[in-house]
Structure 1
């Protein structure tokens, strides 16, 4: 299949008219119609429904259209990056952050290290919830991404471990447990436990819920933090207590106390992930630097 067939098809689908699409493409209408027929014959299904005053996508055509737009976008980006390298211009890395990693001082330290070791690279940050970030990584709309495990979607991408991030208990400064150095989950009693919405990170949410249930505890359904790192602010506001990774407890206000958890069955891990098929040299250079950084910790 030729890429120009996909371009013709996408243009016709967006214009919903052969003549207008031909004008936009700068070609005659009859050859355009013939190319679309060849594409349909090659795939073996009709892609467009011919109407008296235009065309519309068939169900099969709608599926192809969505994928074709992504394919052509990736192709255009690849061509652009190739031309940039040929011209000696700076490389670019689209660097993704799961929302629970973006405020981690360790992650930010690694990002600074990447910038120092690779001054020829422009790092473009992108922040997303973990499930959608993994999907953009799979589509190579992001080159590298900081994820927090456990994450169900992470099995679809390659990753290297950066650091373990055990959970801590955050309580209000006037809480009865605030003066303790460490506690067990069973000591929480009836305190409302603040969690983040499951769709932000299903794997981590389920693992944390299971750990609480094993200790006979139930998260508060009334107190959901918008993000994992927002839970500490809700503790300060008096909504309850929260279990958060240690890397998110380094710069909190005096209104809360951070306690170690004894016999906590769950720990999280921060990793750097990439699409398995992404063999770009600039990506591999950054992965090598990240591994050196992790080994030095």
Structure 2
């Protein structure tokens, strides 16, 4: 069994169309079909069910697909290890992150990262499928709020953050109950935003519904609207720290308190390349500088793994 056979097979299993797969691979369709037949002969079973012009993976094909992806991942890991071993100050860093304020944190750190390593390319993939991006080797690591496939992922809790009620006037209370949110006009992110989902869920549990006077995906717009007295808003501490908010007043929310955990996910038993190590060290330093509530043992283990 040759590696190119697995490469051809993975492309067909992705496209589920021999002609399209052949075009992607830059070979003829008859050549591709012949190579797949050779692989099927070696395996001893059909890998695809052919129904007219459509094809689908057989059960054996699904097994071969998973193992072929593992082989592909191992080869990529080997290449990453060789690159990291040379400690060349060039390379590529791929980060998968949920849309929203975590993207702001990751992007802002890229400014510092670029100053230190100007020849390293950074690709930030904003996606709701962070977990899948990491498992399919589309990202060196991912940052999000929840991960399921713990048998295949190494997940580290980076920090816990709270949400603040922000306004243009100070009523001198450091903490306010959640119900205070309903007392004045409110400006919020759209309902697809992670912060909004937490607010909507909490409101629903209290038998209430949030009806924003303004809804926008722009944090700059939210801050300016609050600044000009249009209403108040709720933002995570991450956003509050990374934008100019010195002229605004914030209050901790309680009863119930609004908090969430931020996690780092990497593929298990996968080598962490040189650029990812450098970036993650900067990320840990930034979290500690901002005095976020961290799990010291987990952060210490992560730092040891990156050293």
- State the TM-score bracket (shorter-chain normalisation): 0.5 to 0.7
Distance 1:17 1:84 in 2: 33
Corresponding residue to 1:132 among 123, 129, 134:
129
Distance 1:272 1:216 in 2: 33
Give the RMSD, CA atoms, in angstroms. Answer: 4.7
TM-score by length of structure 1 reads 0.64
Aligned length: 271
* Structure 2 unaligned spans of 5+: 292-307
Match of 1:60 in 2: 57
The SS at the match of 1:58 is strand
Larger radius of gyration: 1
Matched, 1:47 2:45: no
Distance 1:209 1:160 in 2: 27
The SS at the match of 1:141 is coil
User: Cα deviation per residue 1:4-43 (whole Å; 9 max; x = unaligned)?
Assistant: 223344379666299x87x9548985xx544322434537
Matched, 1:191 2:188: no
Equivalent residues in 2 for 1:1-297 (5 A)?
A: 2-9=2-9, 10=11, 16=19, 24-25=26-27, 29=31, 33-40=33-40, 42=43, 44-45=45-46, 47=48, 49=50, 56-60=53-57, 71=69, 81=80, 84=83, 89=88, 90-98=90-98, 99-104=100-105, 119=117, 122-129=120-127, 131-147=128-144, 149=145, 151=146, 157-171=153-167, 173=168, 178-182=169-173, 183-201=176-194, 205-214=196-205, 217-220=208-211, 223-226=214-217, 231-233=222-224, 235=226, 240-250=231-241, 251-252=243-244, 257-263=248-254, 264-282=256-274, 283=276, 287=280, 290-291=283-284, 294=287, 297=291
How far 1:168 sits from its partner (Å)?
Answer: 0.9
* Structure 1 unaligned spans of 5+: none
Does the 8 A contact of 1:137 with 1:144 survive in 2?
A: yes
The SS at the match of 1:218 is coil
Distance 1:34 1:221 in 2: 60
Match of 2:295 in 1: none
Distance 1:235 1:222 in 2: 12
How far 1:2 sits from its partner (Å)?
Answer: 4.2
User: Cα deviation per residue 1:72-105 (whole Å; 9 max; x = unaligned)?
Assistant: 986785576467568774343223443312334x
Does the 8 A contact of 2:134 with 2:140 survive in 1?
A: yes
Distance 2:282 2:86 in 1: 25
Does the 8 A contact of 2:94 with 2:125 survive in 1?
A: no
Between 260-269 and 217-226, the greater mean CA deviation after superposition: 217-226
Does the 8 A contact of 2:158 with 2:262 survive in 1?
A: yes
